[in-house]
Structure 1
């Protein structure tokens, strides 16, 4: 990745700095609330159907959640079904789109979405090389169990490509803070980044 040079205005004047990672990553390397989503290509149902991440939420409010793997127990029994079941509730709250990203190939994602009747409710997108997941700083090495680097389990509220609220499971795989009910409760409370 190339190095970016940016100038920022501080109270004492202009300072220049170099960043070897995208500028929204600081500290732990995980994207922060208030940051802009990275621009990457994901795939829907087939390698020919490319979806640019900047287009997913451009001018829209939406939900983005990541799962460790299609057809894995927690993702299939709880996480994806919860968002499919809650799609109408998110719509009533003014959220236009719900997107699930997983480090799987697009054919597996298509089959998984069909099995859970996600069509029209949740878009299940493939991040086969984990580039988008890594750009978010949310990758997790699951080689021992799933054969490669996968996504940590997370969910975020997005408004016009800006992260308004981010929930990352503490162990990367649990099913607590990233569930649909938690996001709905947070939205209703108005607990979102400005």
Structure 2
């Protein structure tokens, strides 16, 4: 014979059980093999981005600096915010054009997020004879610049995404030194005399 107290005990246990929330196992986390942001390529020891996004002279002339770096011993890459901008045209690039150590590199390239025709005309205006041999490369889509993690929002000044001002020295296909302007467009750490050292002073002989 079941006593009434037993019924009360069972009913109480049922009410307690009903109040306990059901904890469902969380679905397994899926590990993605990609990242939502680009990896920063510009670190000492890194290779250059492997892309043919750069153009030289015409849209059909593609340039892959990663491949070019394998063909030469050393390379200098100068990134600028915009062709024909005052700082780029009067100070930054002329500083490299006039620095004697620029000629010690097997290849020197100026890269900007501009169209290829603008970059060609700018290069012709700065080095009309081509004596220095600096190559002016367009990055019209900004792909190369983004892969270097050097893109910034220049809409307020230039109307769209642009490149930070920087200078990279590359040896044996890998980045040796990195100089990036902390404010994106300034003229300090990426100047020729900062990257290449002071230009040798020739003493006058009597």
Instruction: State the Cα distance separating 1:60 from its structure 2 match.
Output: 2.3
1:158 pairs with one of 167, 170, 189: 170
Alignment of 1:112 onto 2:115: no
Question: Whole-Å Cα distance in 1 between the matches of residues 44 and 177 of structure 2?
Answer: 6
Alignment of 1:33 onto 2:47: no
Where structure 2 has 5 or more consecutive residues not aligned to the other structure, the ranges are: 1-31, 199-206
Instruction: State the Cα distance separating 1:30 from its structure 2 match.
Output: 5.6
Max radius of gyration: which structure? 2
Question: Whole-Å Cα distance in 1 between the matches of residues 177 and 164 of structure 2?
Answer: 16
Q: Give CA-to-partner distance per residue, 1:70-95, whole Å, 9 cap, x none.
A: 00111111111111112x4233xx42
Alignment of 1:61 onto 2:82: no
Instruction: State the Cα distance separating 1:180 from its structure 2 match.
Output: 1.1
Q: What TM-score comes out, normalization by structure 1 length?
A: 0.78
**Contact 1:156 1:165 (C-alpha < 8 Å) held by counterparts:** yes
CA RMSD across the alignment: 2.3
> Which deviates more, 153-162 or 50-59?
50-59
Trace 1:1-194 onto structure 2 (pairs within 5 A). Answer: 18-20=33-35, 25=39, 29=40, 31-41=42-52, 42-58=54-70, 59-86=72-99, 88-91=100-103, 94-117=104-127, 119-121=130-132, 122-185=134-197
What SS is found at the alignment partner of 2:63? Answer: strand
**Contact 1:30 1:138 (C-alpha < 8 Å) held by counterparts:** no
Question: Whole-Å Cα distance in 2 between the matches of residues 110 and 90 of structure 1?
Answer: 20
Question: Whole-Å Cα distance in 2 between the matches of residues 109 and 120 of structure 1?
Answer: 17
Instruction: State the Cα distance separating 1:140 from its structure 2 match.
Output: 1.0
Q: What TM-score comes out, normalization by structure 2 length?
A: 0.73
The structure with the greater share of residues assigned to strand is 1
